[in-house]
A and B are shown apart, each in its own frame.
Chain A
Amino acid sequence: MTRPGDDPRPGAVELDCRGQRCPLPIIALARRLLSLPVGGVLRVLADDPAAANDIAAWCRMRDQELLPVAEPDVFDVRRTH
């Protein structure tokens, strides 16, 4: 059993937004992702009930890539541009 945050993708930077309510995790994600090089992966930990929906919607609106993750409350976003 892996805990959220265990075994990140190689090279992924982690951003812990657990306990934060939307839109705070999305604001943090938007800020942090741009500090990564293009192609870099940001692993966001977020347990707000709106996080899964809103992180996916943000990636679509901003044309960034949401990578599939099997664990709940864990979201890997790759900077595409």
Chain B
Amino acid sequence: MASEAIIEGAAPGSETQARSYFDAAAAAPLHPVATQALLAAAADGWADPSKLYLEGRRAAQLLDAAREAVAESISAPSVRLDEVFFCSSGSAAASLAVEGARAGRARVGDVVVHSAVEHSAVLRAAEQGPARSVPVERSGRVDVEAFGSAVAGPRVALAALQSANHEVGTAQPLADAIAACERAGVPLYVDAAQSIGRLPVPTGWSLLSASAAKWGGPAGVGVLVVRKGTRWAKPWPVERVDPQIVSLPLVVAAAAALRAVLADDAANARLFALVDRVRAGVAATVPDVEVIGDPVDRLPHIITFSCLYVDGEALLHALDRRGFAVSSGSSCTAATLRPSHVLVAMGVLSHGNVRVSLHPGVTSAEVSRFLDVLPDVVAGLRAEIGGHCR
């Protein structure tokens, strides 16, 4: 994968500059296998898969094969093919999971229990009705006991817990959550957007969602899995267009990318070690920095840190000028001008925040260059803002 692409004229008058894309948690670059599959499916899978003639059957076969690949990749043993649904994004899948489960369990209750650090798509859906947020530890890991007692509370329709956090990388105690939900007879929804293709997800959940853009598939494909026996009702009116109708070539490309990513066992171990290097390097070379999230029980590819006395937006732009695309949870970088709800729930510093998330094409040399550049960038910004204080 060409990760160190050269972009001509990155800034007016600037020389050509090496770019390092470190925002895989937002969207990973398209896997080369996905590109091939996309072209092949566009050539062969353009017909309506519900039609009975040859072209339609051919499209239907491609869709079935994609569904099978995704079903096998989501968990071992494989989920059933009729448990897998495709929709237009990971956020759409999250919303369908929460709203459909709440609608399906209306006779039992309408409360959605969730960790305080779920993705905003999950929070937005949960907050359409009564919701109970469960606090997290400083690492971002949900308080298991509090989660268990919230799930056992009255009128609970659904419990939602991400497999791992999208901003800080901390893995959630899914096995404990699954056990608590089984005891309480409450379905568990797992937002696995960041872990599919990276970390195995244990079985025992009722609903799961994922996003192809996070594993190197094309943007515009979300996956929703609803296990048999889960009460789930279509959360949209019957007269509305079915949100599950998606572009077949995109789905085929997504499935091909997932297969390719899972076949490459070494990639995640390599990224895990690179992140270890960034964690140690940042802590050692940048003064007054808080490296955030669990150092060990985490996703392989995400590292987050906050630099005291630094403006997050300025840091993001300064790194962009030096060739690095990173993300930030600082309030100045959000449209709402509010700090990331994840960082606030953890009680960690929210200003001067940077999230680095690596895709499999990132080289060790790119990480070294980042670690070389960062201390000067931070020092420069502190000098500008007058933030040299104890």
Contact = CB atoms under 8 A, between A and B. Distances in A.
A49 B351 contact: no
Contacts of A26: 308-309, 351
23 contacts: A23-B308, A23-B310, A23-B351, A23-B387, A26-B308, A26-B351, A27-B309, A27-B386, A30-B309, A30-B389, A30-B390, A31-B389, A34-B389, A49-B337, A49-B339, A50-B350, A53-B347, A54-B339, A54-B350, A56-B347, A61-B288, A61-B349, A62-B390
Nearest to A61: B290
B338 interface: yes
Contact of A27 (B331, B337, B389): B389
B351 A50 contact: yes
Interface string B356-390: 00000000000000000000000000000111011
B390 A54 contact: no
Interface residues of A, number: 20
Contact of B352 (A23, A31, A34, A48): A23
A21 interface: yes
B348 interface: yes
Interface residues of B, number: 25
B386 A57 contact: no
A60 B352 CA distance: 17
Nearest to A24: B385
Contacts of B106: none
Contacts, number: 69
Q: Considering residues B343, B349, B351, which has the most beta carbons from chain A within 10 angstroms of its beta carbon?
A: B351
A79 to B, nearest CB: 12
> Lowest 9 A-B CB distances belong to which pairs?
A50-B339, A23-B351, A57-B349, A30-B389, A22-B351, A50-B331, A49-B338, A53-B344, A27-B387
A57 B351 CA distance: 10
Interface string A18-39: 0001111011001100100000
B330 interface: yes
Given A21-B332, A27-B389, A57-B349, A50 B308 contact: no
Nearest to A60: B347
B348 A57 contact: yes
B266 to A, nearest CB: 37
A27 B349 CA distance: 13
Interface of A: 21-24, 26-27, 30-31, 34, 48-50, 53-54, 56-58, 60-62
Contacts of A27: 309, 385-387, 389
A61 B291 CA distance: 12
B118 interface: no
B311 interface: yes
A42 to B, nearest CB: 14
B348 A23 contact: no
A61 B332 contact: no
B389 A57 contact: no
A48 B339 CA distance: 10
B133 to A, nearest CB: 16
A21 to B, nearest CB: 6
Given A27-B386, A49-B337, A49-B338, A57 B350 contact: yes
Given A23-B310, A26-B308, A48-B331, A34 B390 contact: yes
A26 B387 CA distance: 9
- The winner among A34, A57, A61 for most chain B CB atoms within 10 A is A57
Contacts of B387: 23, 27
A22 B331 contact: yes
Given A23-B309, A23-B352, A57-B290, A50 B330 contact: yes
A54 B349 contact: yes
B80 to A, nearest CB: 44
A58 B235 CA distance: 44
